[in-house]
């Protein structure tokens, strides 16, 4: 289990907020920071919030007031606001870096990235959704605005234990059926599922008007193989084990990881899909703003942001 203090990184949220909004971020997002430039009414009910001075009385819900004797205001979502869907890999390989809990694992980093992005975007007035692939089963939370959505984000991410296979390709196919055109889809994963057809699906998403972005989460150990004695390696998504002398394979291993990272980055660039390699929260803070601002250019125009295997960011 990860609690909210584990998931909500105020420094990362502050850095992302400074890149998109003026002012100092509060611990939780503020409503109304983003104003739509589009005209006309296109609203749907979002949530009730307690009345505060300055709220428009025409949105006071008298039925709720009659039942509770407390004034609540009906809040509405502008359907034309930017919608962002964050898909987090909760498969077994994402548990690397933790001991007996997700704390300190790749999943923990991915969850902190998802919460920080959600908090920043919700502060801007955007609608944000969450999906999980692998783990204890697929999760789908449709994009919505408001504080309650961020609370739900943290509840779901905190109660999830990474396990099983990612099956990213199948999940992306299902998600594509539910997301509308123009939705920005942020995929946070280690992309280590050898059986997956996720990259093929990502190309199809662009054809459907969905705007994918890749956040490639890896642990520094996976890139550098820093061990100095014989180590027993245990597969996290299968029962396989392997005793290995790292010194005997380090050079070949690092080269293969470099090819893997470069290959994914190049594939993203070819599809005009923004890509960022993230190994810790400091690196996430430097790279996520550019990732989210990246345009939707023609094929070959995607932007890759990575420090390379074994390199700093």
Query: What topology does CATH give the domain 80-305?
Result: Rossmann fold (3.40.50)
**Per-residue pLDDT band at 6 (split at 50, 70, 90):** very high
**What average pLDDT does the segment 4-8 reach?**
95
* Average pLDDT for the chain: 81
Angle (CA) 249 252 255, round 5°:
140
**What average pLDDT does the segment 106-112 reach?**
97
Tell the residue number behind the tokens 């109660």, with chain if given. Answer: 159
pLDDT above 80 for 60 = yes
Q: Give the model's pLDDT for residue 293.
A: 81
Task: Extract the tokens encoding 100.
Answer: 């007996």
In this structure, are residues 144 and 129 in contact, taking their beta carbons and an 8 Å threshold? yes
Q: Give the model's pLDDT for residue 301.
A: 41
**Per-residue pLDDT band at 111 (split at 50, 70, 90):** very high
pLDDT above 60 for 227 = yes
**What average pLDDT does the segment 74-79 reach?**
60
State the chain's maximal CA–CA distance in angstroms.
74
Q: Give the model's pLDDT for residue 264.
A: 94
**What average pLDDT does the segment 140-145 reach?**
90
**What average pLDDT does the segment 209-222 reach?**
94
Tens-digit pLDDT profile for residues 171-183: 898 888 888 888 8
- For CA atoms 269, 272, 273, 278, give the dihedral sign: positive
Q: How far apart are CA 107 and CA 89, in angstroms?
A: 7
Burial environment of residue 70 by CB neighbours within 10 A (0 to 12, 13 to 18, 19 or more): exposed
Phi and psi at 179, nearest 5°, equal -90, 145
**Kind of pairing, strands 211-217 and 275-278?**
parallel
Tens-digit pLDDT profile for residues 236-245: 667 778 887 8
pLDDT above 70 for 97 = yes
Cα first-last separation, the chain: 30
187 or 138: which leads in pLDDT = 187
**Per-residue pLDDT band at 28 (split at 50, 70, 90):** very low
Q: Give the model's pLDDT for residue 81.
A: 52
pLDDT above 90 for 208 = no
């Amino acid at each position: 289990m990860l609690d909210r203090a584990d998931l909500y990184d105020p420094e990362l949220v502050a850095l992302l907020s400074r890149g998109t909004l003026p002012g100092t971020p509060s611990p939780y997002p503020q409503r109304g920071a983003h104003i739509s430039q589009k005209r006309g009414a296109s609203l749907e009910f979002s949530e009730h919030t307690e009345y505060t001075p300055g709220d428009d009385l025409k949105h006071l819900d008298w039925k709720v007031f009659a039942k509770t004797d407390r004034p609540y205001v009906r809040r509405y979502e502008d359907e034309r606001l930017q919608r962002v869907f964050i898909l987090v890999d909760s498969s077994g390989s994402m548990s690397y870096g933790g001991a007996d809990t997700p704390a300190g694992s790749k999943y923990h980093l991915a969850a902190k990235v998802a919460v920080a992005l959600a908090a920043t975007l919700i502060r801007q007035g955007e609608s944000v959704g969450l999906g999980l692939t692998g783990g204890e089963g697929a999760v789908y939370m449709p994009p919505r605005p408001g504080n309650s959505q961020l609370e739900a984000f943290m509840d779901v991410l905190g109660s999830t234990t990474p396990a099983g296979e990612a099956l990213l390709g199948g999940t992306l196919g299902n998600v594509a059926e539910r997301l509308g055109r123009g939705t920005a889809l942020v995929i946070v994963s280690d992309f280590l599922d050898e059986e997956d057809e996720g990259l093929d699906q990502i190309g199809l998403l662009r054809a459907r008007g969905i705007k994918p972005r890749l956040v490639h989460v890896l642990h520094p150990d996976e890139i550098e193989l820093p061990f100095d004695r014989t180590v027993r390696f245990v597969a996290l998504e299968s029962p396989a084990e392997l005793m290995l002398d790292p010194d005997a394979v380090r050079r070949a291993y690092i080269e293969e990881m470099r090819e893997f990272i470069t290959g994914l980055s190049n594939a993203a660039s070819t599809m005009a899909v923004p890509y960022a390699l993230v190994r810790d929260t400091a690196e996430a803070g430097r790279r996520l703003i550019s990732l989210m601002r990246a345009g939707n250019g023609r094929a070959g125009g995607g932007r890759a942001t990575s420090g390379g295997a074994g390199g700093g960011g």
